[in-house]
Structure 1
């Protein structure tokens, strides 16, 4: 059985429609742990105070999902702070005992965006395709030896009806199950 860790980085989940719907769907999946990072670290994250706990959670997972709303073409502040605190610790301060052991772990990005898919194209309103906006995350995954999966992106996140959100949540959990089953089978082979 493989374990999937979903780290949810939403600055105000109580006001979210899309990330909240996706999180509820993930929370119902077996062998999946969902962590609301803003609830866990309301005062921010610290490399020395929180790094060991976070590293242990990552090392216990076979699959890691970073779920967040795209905000101004980037990640929420706590996700960047988490990278600085946890990944710096694991790969620069404790590489042999932590970083090396994390290498080869599967990583997926699950992001919500307020605009339409057309807006995220060359020449679109937002100028860049979403994959280009994810370049820093992909570079981080590469540097840490994490295996990058095709991101799950939900567009028009704040404009979806409850029925559309339900379909999106099902699509998300279906995508996660396919990814988990495929990568677990590849690892076993």
Structure 2
């Protein structure tokens, strides 16, 4: 007779060596990745982590016409949503905003985008870089207010969709930092992403540019 409490399908898949559904969806948005110094490396690192589904929006949708059914299916499988992008004019590149507009519009987020397969609240992690120094994002600085103020709409969208907001990973002065700082940032991102995907990796400590 079969056991009265069989293990979940994911556990069976692991035991049998089968592929497990990704638990993290990385929405990577860079309009010109060929010239990317930071984000392309982060995306490449993410693509090599088990349990991570890398969604390269500009590569997948060069015509900017998002396949809503496909994207909702990917989002529904994920327990963590990662927003990976360079800051453009105080916000995200246009295609990431279009993804939010098309995929998470009000009716869907209210009716379907609530519990994950495990029953826990989804989490949302924002990973962004910008060319300006941290001191520019302050009262009296060039940009007058903290970078987090400009990114607040994403935090609010996550809240409305029932997701738990994680501490963002922000990189300043992306055009000016040396290669060692870039390597450290990639390593920190990779370690935290592995942890989110369920790998037995320690949490990265420390910060870059005072973050």
Normalising to structure 2: TM-score of the pair? 0.76
Aligned residues: 176
Q: How far 1:175 moved relative to its partner?
A: 2.9
Cα deviation digits, residues 75-119 of structure 1 (max 9, x gap): 11101111110011xx315743x3334682110000011111111
**Among 123, 133, 151, the residue aligned to 2:168:** 151
Paired position in structure 1 for 2:92: 75
2:130–2:174 contact (8 Å) kept in structure 1: yes
- What is the alpha-carbon distance in structure 1 between the residues aligned to residue 50 and residue 177 of structure 2? 27
1:5 aligns with 2:25: yes
In structure 2, the residue matched to 1:37 is 57
Please state how far the C-alpha of 1:21 moved relative to its aligned partner.
1.5
Q: Does 1:108 align with 2:122?
A: no
Distance in 2 (alpha carbons) for counterparts of 1:94 and 1:116: 36
Give the secondary structure class of the aligned counterpart of 1:166. Answer: helix
Runs of 5+ unmatched residues, structure 2: 1-9, 11-21, 199-211
- 1:99 paired with 2:113, answer yes
CA contact (8 A) 1:45 1:85 kept: no
Deviation at 1:178, TM superposition (A): 4.5
Aligned match of 1:17: 37
Partners of 1:180 and 1:31 in 2: how far apart? Answer: 5
Give me the whole-angstrom Cα distance separating, in 2, the residues matched to 1:95 and 1:129. 31
- Match for residue 103 of structure 2? 86
- C-alpha spacing 1:137/1:35, structure 2 compared with 1 (3 Å): same
CA distance in 2: counterparts of 1:101 and 1:44, whole angstroms: 29
> Partners in 2 of 1:160 and 1:132 — Cα distance?
23
Work out the CA distance in 1 between the residues paired with 2:28 and 2:170: 14
- Cα separation, partners in 2 of 1:77 and 1:141, compared to 1, 3 Å: same
Structure-1-length-normalised TM-score: 0.84
On the 8 A contact 1:9/1:68 being kept in 2, the answer is yes
Aligned 8 A contact 1:152 1:175 in 2: no
Distance across 2 between alignment mates of 1:138 and 1:93? 18
Higher relative contact order, chain-length normalized (CA < 8 Å, sep 6+) = 1
**Residues 113-124 of structure 1: matches in 2 within 5 Å?**
113-124=130-141
